[in-house]
Amino acid sequence: MRRWIATGILLLLLAPLPGAAAQGPIEAAQQAFQAGRFAEAATTLQQSARSDPNDASPHYWLGRCYYELRRYDQASQEVEQAIKLDGRESDYHFWLGRIYGHMAETHHSLWLGIRTGKEFERAIQLDPKNMAARRALVEFYAGAPWIIGGSKNKARAQIAAIAAQNPVQGDLAEADYDHMMGNLAGARANYQKVLDVNTATPVEYYEAADFYAGQRNAAQLERAIDNVLHVAPNDPRLSYYQGVVLTIEDQKLDEAESYLKSYLAATVNRSDYPSHADARTWLGHVYEQMGRRLAAAEQYRAALQLDPNSGFAKQSLQVLEKQMK
């Protein structure tokens, strides 16, 4: 579960805490969470959960913290407890589905895969306007085998429902679906629609930027960056994409290196930002293009330490090692 996070998760990070007033230890924990201090937030939330065992919100946010800390079993347990205490919060079910989805992919579990889809469906039943959950469900239906609930027809129905509520999100969902189905021309056309629209936040443009980075399309990636600059010129993610576009163009590699190093130094490794593993992999490509193969290999290995499942880093290292033999 990965493509839809750029839009949904940032909005959830900035939203008021479900089920709790924005004050006291919960507010302090939320502020620490939004700043990327996940362990600190978890400590505060553990104390809050002990002081009021009937309050669901500390368990929900503990689950969110544990997810960011990559402690997925604990994350699922905490959000499950939040739902036991308050099963009517749509975001609780969305996040439990997201946690289950990660665990299902990691453990190759059909049972967890089934539960992933069920949680996303429940989130939408509780709040039909939950765009993050609808986007997640499109990806689930499109990518999951039929035995655990996958259905291309259901995916298309969700896309239609999204478009009826939010045309830009509809274009993004359509583009994501086309990409998953291998229809790159359709994906390009829909991401182009997104870049043609003025939005209030940068997250939609970042989704397009991720696609164009993957396609090594520097011209359209630059356009996505320009759109972000008009909306959020101080967004810390910009340095990542500015480094990527220069790497793709094989130009100003010193600047590309500086942008990527700045991104790594200034941001925490969080699920709503480009991963540090990807940033290090792009930095490895910068070093390869500079002729610094040993430095490139070091970055690829560092990326794999951060994310052992990164196909981008694995492939980059394998190609480099063959060249170095």
What pLDDT does 91 receive? 98
**pLDDT tens string 11-24:** 444 344 444 444 58
User: From the centroid of its chain, how far is CA 103?
Assistant: 15
Per-residue pLDDT of the chain (325 residues; tens, 9 = 90+): 444 443 444 444 434 444 444 458 899 999 999 999 999 999 999 999 999 999 999 999 999 999 999 999 999 999 999 999 999 999 999 999 999 999 999 999 999 999 999 999 999 999 999 999 999 999 999 999 999 999 999 999 999 999 999 999 999 999 999 999 999 999 999 999 999 999 999 999 999 999 999 999 999 999 999 999 999 999 999 999 999 999 999 999 999 999 999 999 999 999 999 999 999 999 999 999 999 999 999 999 999 999 999 999 999 999 999 999 8
Predicted local distance difference test score (pLDDT) of residue 12: 45
Name 160's Cβ contacts closer than 8 Å, sequence gap at least 6.
170
Q: Give the per-residue pLDDT at 24.
A: 84
Say what angle helices 131-143 and 152-165 make with each other, to 10 degrees: 160
Q: Where are the domains of the chain?
A: 236-325
Query: What pLDDT is recorded for position 23?
Result: 56
Per-residue pLDDT tens digits for 104-153: 999 999 999 999 999 999 999 999 999 999 999 999 999 999 999 999 99
CATH topology of domain 236-325: 1.25.40
